Amino acid sequence: MSDILVAGETLIDFLPEPGETLREVDGFSHRPGGAPANVAVGVARLGEPPAFWTRLGDDPFGDFLRETLVAEGISTDHVERVTGNTTLGVVSPPGVDGRRFRFYGSGDVTFGFEPSAIPADALEACSWVHLAGVALTHPRGRAAMPALATQASERGCTVSFDVNYRPDLIAAGDEEAVSTAIRETVAASDVVLCSDEEVAATGLSSNEDEQLARDLLALGPDAVVVTLGTAGALAATSAASPWGERTVRHAGFEVDAVDATGAGDAFTAGLIAHLSAVDAGDAAAPSDAADGDSAFDDAVAFANATAALSVQDLGGMSALPSRDQVEAFLAERR
């Protein structure tokens, strides 16, 4: 059984050909995507494949995504196939102001997780559980994901949560319910990841990244990471955390970016792979992994390197690097 369980959506990313706006592009290429799916594949490439609880439609895109997961070594034991069409996420051309993603398809199929379907056997076997916030936009997902976080915490698992706020998926009138679910899941988690653009989802008002991290820590987690795009990331940990109270700011790495889709997911996969390996005393832990105060600092650097490599090719999932690639990149940059 896998030591890590990832939960959440798998969908299709439609990447546009060159054009100023969506209406002007001549066509699209389809790639596997979905933040939790990207994280699951990223973790697999950086170490051992995790268990993955997700939902796929019974359409051809669902078949394609299932085959993709199998090719990455991820078990389909907890991949639900349900009647309906897989969700499509259409990505805007680079440089377009406003919405980066537009979603099409059945939210019930992709995001309608049932609390009764939480994979108890996978949860029993793992020590780390990761989930993301998009499923909280669906009424059933708002019940299932916080329940998973609570059950994992009760079993002594480390719980990580990516806020991943997508307002386009929130039905009118559900805004407060989604914000409440996000705050509850933050409180039930140990490690929280949030971009500087997602502060509105938390109900907090700070526009300064370090204060935002500290405000999120006050809700209950041990560590908060605020990703800052090309500016890298800032992390803050509490005095009660395994890493002690500290603030870590890493400027990231300068690279020639081709496609930033999924860069945050690559960062998340790198952080989880590094921290979980160190916590487990794994022989496969990154060669630069350290115990004590520097462990979290090293994890943020490793995560930034994973993200930097991921933006040098097209597609959020297909561009994810291997552990050897990340370690070689870090060695060169030192």
Q: Residue 98: pLDDT above 90?
A: no
pLDDT confidence of residue 60: 97
pLDDT confidence of residue 283: 41
Strands 51-57 and 233-237: what pairing?
unpaired
pLDDT confidence of residue 284: 46
Tokens of 258: 């081709």
Residues 241-277: pLDDT tens digits? 999 999 999 999 999 988 788 899 999 999 999 999 8
| Mean local confidence (pLDDT), 64-79 | 97
pLDDT confidence of residue 264: 93
pLDDT confidence of residue 288: 47
Q: Residue 285: pLDDT above 60?
A: no
| C-alpha atoms less than 13 angstroms from C-alpha of 220 in its C-beta half-sphere | 14
Strands 51-57 and 158-162: what pairing?
unpaired
pLDDT confidence of residue 191: 97
Domain boundaries, the chain: 4-333
Calculate what percentage of the chain has a pLDDT beyond 70.
91
Which amino acid would we find at residue 83?
Answer: T
pLDDT confidence of residue 281: 57
Bridge partner list, 102? 90
Which pLDDT band holds residue 289 (cuts at 50, 70, 90)? very low
CB 127 within 8 A of CB 157: yes
Q: Give, to the nearest 10 degrees, the angle between helix 294-310 and helix 263-280.
A: 140
Residue 229, burial from CB neighbour count under 10 angstroms (0-12, 13-18, 19+): middle
Residues 223-237: pLDDT tens digits? 999 999 889 999 999
pLDDT confidence of residue 261: 80
Bridge partner list, 129? 5, 159
CA distance 27 to 34: 21
Tokens of 119: 């994979």
| Domain 4-333 CATH superfamily | Ribokinase (3.40.1190.20)
Residues counted in the chain = 334
Instruction: Check residues 279 and 242 and name the one with the higher pLDDT.
Output: 242
Helix (H, G, I), strand (E, B) or coil at 53: strand
pLDDT confidence of residue 280: 59
pLDDT confidence of residue 209: 80
Average model confidence (pLDDT) for the chain?
Answer: 89
pLDDT confidence of residue 144: 97
| Mean local confidence (pLDDT), 301-321 | 91
C-alpha to C-alpha distances, 284 to 50, 138, 278, 309, nearest whole angstrom: 15, 37, 9, 20
Instruction: Check residues 334 and 332 and name the one with the higher pLDDT.
Output: 332
Instruction: Check residues 57 and 200 and name the one with the higher pLDDT.
Output: 57
Of 21, 195, 196, whose CA–CA distance to 94 is shortest? 21
Q: Which helix (H) or strand (E) holds 315?
A: none
C-alpha to C-alpha distances, 59 to 18, 84, 105, nearest whole angstrom: 28, 7, 11
Q: Residue 39: pLDDT above 90?
A: yes
pLDDT confidence of residue 293: 57
pLDDT confidence of residue 21: 80
Instruction: Check residues 93 and 112 and name the one with the higher pLDDT.
Output: 112
| Mean local confidence (pLDDT), 114-121 | 96
pLDDT confidence of residue 278: 76
pLDDT confidence of residue 168: 84
Calculate what percentage of the chain has a pLDDT beyond 90.
67
Strands 11-16 and 88-91: what pairing?
parallel
CB 123 within 8 A of CB 152: yes
Ranges 183-197, 282-296, 297-311: which has the least confidence: 282-296
| Mean local confidence (pLDDT), 106-114 | 93
Q: Residue 291: pLDDT above 60?
A: no
Which pLDDT band holds residue 96 (cuts at 50, 70, 90)? low
Strands 158-162 and 128-132: what pairing?
parallel
What's the longest Cα–Cα distance across the chain? 54
| Mean local confidence (pLDDT), 46-62 | 96
Alpha helix ranges (H) inside 135-208: 139-154, 175-188, 199-202
Q: 70 phi and psi, to 5 degrees?
A: -60, -45
| Mean local confidence (pLDDT), 120-128 | 95
